[in-house]
A and B are shown apart, each in its own frame.
Chain A
Amino acid sequence: MTEKGSGGCQCLSVGRSRRESAVQKTIIGMSHAIRGSLFSERVANRPGLLQETDPRVKTVGLLGLLVATSFLHNWYIILALYGLTLVMAFASRISLKFFVKRVWLFIPVFAGIIALPSLFNIVRPGDPLFTIWDFSGEVTLGPWSLGTSLAVTHQGLKGAVVLILRVATSVSLAVLWALTTHWADLLKALRVFMVPRIFVLILSMTYRYIFLILGLATDMFTARTSRLVGSSSPREDRRFVASSMATLLGKSHALSEDVYSAMISRGYTGEPLTLHRFRTGMGDWLWLGAIIFLGAAALGSDRFIG
């Protein structure tokens, strides 16, 4: 996870392409990913509240709160849960400035942008909160009627606030979970949800091979960039990207055959084994108890307030 919001790709980025070709952008993106993984392992090593909680208990608690968040209707309660994530981040020695930046850029901001049209009465009907433009009379566009005024609706604003807060809280919980847990422990903790061993094995192998293949790809792209004099057309670049994907596919396939042979020759039978033994302590159960209490309180008061 990188320091700027890597929560989504800037898939169509206009304007910077004069300086950076697609190939260069890919190299930068990939090196960010590698750096991000190192950073996340550093956070997981800090002596904070969540880092010291048993990974299985932590998974149940945080994902339980995530499910609870999806059931809440009242935005005050969602905001309170968001506050709880800030408290937990602070207690886990995560810099709040980093945490807020990491969560809000870019998914909740994006949610706000997506929800923007729904604020207006022409998109989603509702009681006007404040009118922007009063058409004198009804305006029609063919068979569609735009009504008599353009206004921001009460319901639109409320819906947008609920959406943004819920998205932000959900992302906060997910980030807390992933940042404070070592990847290997996280996968093992999934077994608590009865995820079959074979899937956990595939997940852990995939994680390792992502970095290997990222390295292969970065090498290919760097090799090309360093042999390029001047600039290349998008068409040439596209053909290069496609041919590197094809080459990568072939290399990956050959690699898998080698890996399989290596595993068989070292006694692989299909059962994954890990070194780290999980142990729960009093602190874990106290934490889980507090989380369950707070989650139930949130759901209950949400029901009550309505």
Chain B
Amino acid sequence: MGTGLRGKMHIPDGYLSPQTAGGMWAMMVPAWYWAGHKVKSTLSSRQAPLVAIGAAFTFVIMMFNIPLPGGTTGHAVGGTIIAIVIGPWAAVIAISVALVIQAIFFGDGGILAIGANSFNIGFILPITGYFTYKLLAKGAAPESSRRWIAAGIGAWVGLNVAAFFTSVEFGLQGELFTAADGSALYSPYGLATAIPAMMVPHMLVVGTIEAVMTSLIYVFMMKSNPGLLDNYDNLNAQAIGSYKLKPLIIGIVLLLVCAPLGLLATGTAWGEWGTEEIGNEIGYVPEGMERFAGHWEGFMPEYAFPQSEETVAVEGGGAGSGEVTKVAVEESAAEEEAPVSLDGVGESTPAYLISGVLGLLLVVGVALMTIRMITGKPRSKEQLG
């Protein structure tokens, strides 16, 4: 795809459809609120200057040219090391703030794309990086080499998972958002092109730069300023009253795993028939249903990708004739459907799974925000006196 070997994955405006960009905003707003809540519970009123300076720091180190073998230079994001020092949630806000300033002030990254860029670089990168680091460094002594190796690996993983999400966002545009003549309306590449085109350079080069720089910084801090590396852990230990996330996460993972089971079930749930199905069942379509059904299709109609203009034009021609419908009614009445079959698994399966994941994340995000608004903020030790 030729994005070049950029350490920054800032998406400009024009590459993402408004639906995708809007969806990413919808995911980030609860994420920002959640990060803000977490930051308040660990840092209380200190957070504004700390986060602001963390953001300024992130911004500046993204400008550093890093010498590479062969005489070229590259850039790093530094999201994982920041997450280690100020905590992953403060890092989410700090990196997002840096990205917003880069977008508005420097034109690096689009304005409508701020939601997507914040999600990829400001959320996925530090969270994945931090928790990978925590997992790998668990129990290691403060001076051991396992720690800085874990930091490097965490940075590599964080950056590449972020790159993966970015490449999927690009790739979906080429698949879903095309004009009636098949030409692309936004980014022109499909998933099969976008994913390898982005992932290969990021996994080989960009991720390595990030990992090496993160490890080097970690090693220098171990020698000169080890207290700062444990800063977040110490603050975290003092905070109480945060919500127990572990059971929620286990629940979400279980749900995600069970979601594809829906593909195996055949038929339609009782009472959820569309106009076509009710026509089959009782022989006619009630007037009320005829008038009101199908007005709101949502962003992912029937848990599949929205039909591009091209396909709709073709289908419209076919379903228009009454004779075709009649034949279809007779045929399906004659079939005996087994309750469970593998017929449901097919072309629309990736869309089904993506819609499942998106739906789950949206629901959880909104639920958490609502709970927080109703129950209020948990109090820290300081405030309880």
Residues of B within 8 A of A22 (CB): 64-67, 73
Most buried by B among A209, A246, A247: A246
- Which of A33, A234, A247: most chain B CB closer than 10 A? A234
Q: Within the assembled complex, what's the spacing in Å between the Cα atoms of A279 and B162?
A: 43
Residues on A with C-beta less than 8 A from B190 are: 124
Which residues from chain A contact B8 at a C-beta distance below 8 Å?
Answer: 8-9, 11
Instruction: Give CA–CA (A206, B213) in the complex, Å.
Output: 24
Give residues 169-205 of B contacting A (CB, 8 Å): 174, 179-190, 193
* List of A residues within 8 angstroms of B359 by Cβ: none
Contact B12 A167 (CB under 8 A): yes
Interface stretch, picked from B135-143, B220-228, B360-368, is B220-228
Please classify how large the interface on chain B is, using the bins under 10, 10 to 19, 20 to 34, 35 or more.
35 or more
B225, closest chain A residue (CB): A250
For the complex formed, measure the closest distance between the CB of B25 and the CB atoms of chain A, giving whole angstroms: 11
From B51-59, B241-249, B260-268, the one touching the partner chain is B51-59
A206 touches B97 (CB 8 A): yes
Kindly state the separation between the CA atoms of A3 and B21 in the bound complex, as whole angstroms: 29
Least CB distance, B345 to chain A, in whole angstroms: 23
* Residue A273 CB within 8 A of the other chain: no
Set of chain A residues within 8 Å of B1, measured between Cβ atoms: 114, 117
Is B235 on the interface with A (CB-CB < 8 A)?
A: no
Residue of A nearest to B57 (CB): A252
Find out whether the CB atom of A66 lies under 8 angstroms from the CB atom of B56: no
The stretch among B41-49, B120-128, B350-358 that forms the contact with chain A is B41-49
Are A13 and B73 closer than 8 Å at their CB atoms?
A: yes
Closest B residue to A250 using CB positions: B225
> Which residue of B16, B104, B225 contacts A178 across the interface (Cβ within 8 Å)?
B104
Q: Once the chains bind, are A260 and B106 in contact (CB under 8 Å)?
A: no
Q: Contact between B182 and A12 (Cβ–Cβ < 8 Å)?
A: no
B30 at the interface (CB under 8 A from A): no
What's the tally of chain A residues with a CB closer than 8 Å to chain B? 99
Which residues of the partner chain B approach A160 to less than 8 Å between Cβ atoms? Answer: 188
* Residue in B49, B65, B100, B103 whose Cβ sees the most chain A Cβ within 10 Å: B65
Q: Check B228–A249 contact: CB distance below 8 A.
A: yes
- Interchain CA distance A206-B32 in the complex, whole Å: 17
Give residues in A with beta carbon < 8 Å to B. Answer: 1, 6-9, 11-15, 17-18, 21-23, 25-26, 29-30, 33, 36-37, 40, 63, 66-67, 69-71, 73, 107, 111, 113-118, 123-126, 154-156, 158-160, 162-163, 166-171, 174-175, 177-178, 183, 186, 198-199, 201-203, 205-207, 209-210, 212-214, 217, 234, 237-239, 241-250, 252-253, 255-256, 259-260, 263, 270, 306
**15 CB-based A-B contacts, threshold 8 Å:** A6-B108, A8-B6, A12-B6, A12-B68, A25-B73, A40-B105, A70-B17, A117-B2, A118-B189, A160-B188, A166-B13, A166-B186, A206-B97, A206-B98, A249-B82
Known: A234-B69, A248-B57. 8 other contacts (CB 8 A): A11-B74, A170-B12, A171-B110, A174-B13, A186-B104, A209-B55, A237-B67, A260-B50
Q: Return the 5 tightest CB-CB contacts between A and B, nearest first.
A: A242-B216, A167-B14, A170-B13, A159-B184, A205-B52
